[in-house]
Chains A and B, each alone.
Chain A
Amino acid sequence: MNKYFSTKVSIFVFAFPALLLFTLFCVYPLLPEIWMSLHKHDGFRNLGFVGLNNYKEVILSSSFWTAHKNTYLIVAISLLLGLPLSMMLSLFMDAQTPKFRRFFKTVAMFPAILSVTVVSQIWLAFYEPNWGLFNAILNSLGLSSWTHSWLTEKKTVMPSIGLTFLWQYIGLNAMLFYTGIKTIPKSYYEAALIDGANFIQVSLRITIPLLQNVIKYVLILSTLGSMAFYSHVRVMTAGGPGDQSRTVIYQMYYTAFDTSEFGKGTAIAVIFILECLLISFFIQRFVARDKLEF
């Protein structure tokens, strides 16, 4: 019966449009990216083949390493701080009465549905050195020596932007965890309750181990998401002071569109795609390998 439908024409009609779109816009761009990275290119003209020279120049520039340091700082913040916090938040939501849970769920999702521009602008107001919220709080607590010009000082700029990012997506991750918790059969909890386990024991022994598939999904999602970190930087500091808050993607944009060195920009992109592939491969390979069935 499936044979009856599977004529060459019908397969073509059904498969072609999506495959064309996907190939043209998602897969095909990788080829010119590699090609361009081997040439000197200003966005309009190809100025000749330069081999691996772009790669060499990119790797030798200090901005490239600053950008890497910043990007992986964001990855570290979102994995080491963000994931545990959102896990705690989701366990907390699960322990509430339905009415409160509804409220917390709405509040948690709220920042994630706002656009990057809006969130960044709100936090720009918080970080403002003269009348911003953070300095105002520090001043009123008598800690004036702790105040900073958060977004223009080399030391504080990246953690400040990272905090904004964390604030925006913690609730979303918590919601993902929470939806995972809902799928765990209640019988496990009943059994634990009979054995006299408390909330922390139940969370550590039952909930978190049974959530490993969801944890893996969130891990990949937030790793790749924070590696592609760009928009907040664009709105909040435009990479400044100097190149101190540029991330890899920002550096790529900057090189290609602001200095018109498309060859070098694409070289950064190619290196970065390899990093992304490598990292998602490692997560796939080593985290939560066996699928749980319940």
Chain B
Amino acid sequence: MSLKSKSEAYKNPFGLPSSWDWLNFSEALSKYHFYTYFENSVIYTTGTIVITLLTGSMLAYCLSRMQWRFNSAMLLYVSMGLIVPIEVVVIPLFQLVKWMHIKNSYLGLILPYSGFAIASCVLMLYAFLRSLPNELEEAACIDGANVYQTYIKIIFPIVMPALVTQCVLIFIRIWNEFPLAFIIASKDQLRPLTVGLLGFFVNVGVADWGLIGASMLLSSLPMIIVYLIGNEKIENALTAGAILK
């Protein structure tokens, strides 16, 4: 589809193209702010992953290893986050982001995304940390490390596999997230790929299917590549998700 000229896309939409028209790709790249949207998507996803994994793993560590009166209450509190769909709180989130003056910045999406990703991250890491023996930290303690050094040097490397799994899960979720991005990233320069693509389709109209096909392929390519590389990891992430409940 993406290799067909405008007229051919019409006459013969689903067959193979008669002549291979690579022009659509270059045209899609120039007309459609692919690089901007792509960069934005990357920023949103990495930002969310970094913030969620860092804060989430700290909370999970605190809940699983430290002695605190509210441990089980906090765990229950965080697990509530799995029930509320992000879509239903979009209106107050929109107001909140506006009020915090982060609406026209990357943080306007990264922080809400992180807030919503924390629940599953904490619960999974909690289960993982629970299964680790205490001796690891006792040894560190005897060697005179304080809690922060222990966390960074001992715990963080050990939970790495679980962190990678979470990383994949968050990536899939955030890269393709639509409703919140649609409402909050209203400025063209801040739109991620999913939303930017929709705006592009509306601009092009239904006429130019060759161009639309090219831009669809271009926007899906990063995800497809990530999937083909991380095939195995994604499958493991799904298993982890399924035992979580």
Contacts and interface: CB of A to CB of B under 8 A. Distances in A.
Contact of A5 (B1, B115, B150, B176): B150
Contact of A26 (B1, B62, B118, B178): B118
B205 interface: no
Contact of A115 (B81, B223, B241, B245): B223
B58 A115 contact: no
B127 interface: no
A26 B88 CA distance: 11
Interface in A1-46: 1-7, 10-11, 13-15, 17-19, 21-22, 24-33, 36, 43
A151 to B, nearest CB: 12
B145 to A, nearest CB: 10
Interface in B190-212: 193-195, 197-198, 201, 206, 209, 212
Interface residues of B, number: 83
Which of A113, A253, A256, A262 is most buried by chain B, counting CB atoms within 10 A of its CB? Answer: A113
A6 B66 contact: yes
Interface residues of A, number: 82
B88 A269 contact: yes
Interface in B48-69: 51, 54-56, 58-59, 61-63, 65-68
A262 B91 contact: yes
Contacts of A265: 91
Contact of A220 (B13, B91, B178, B245): B245
A259 interface: no
A249 B238 CA distance: 27
A31 B89 CA distance: 10
B93 interface: yes
Contact of B242 (A4, A179, A272, A276): A179
B238 A179 contact: yes
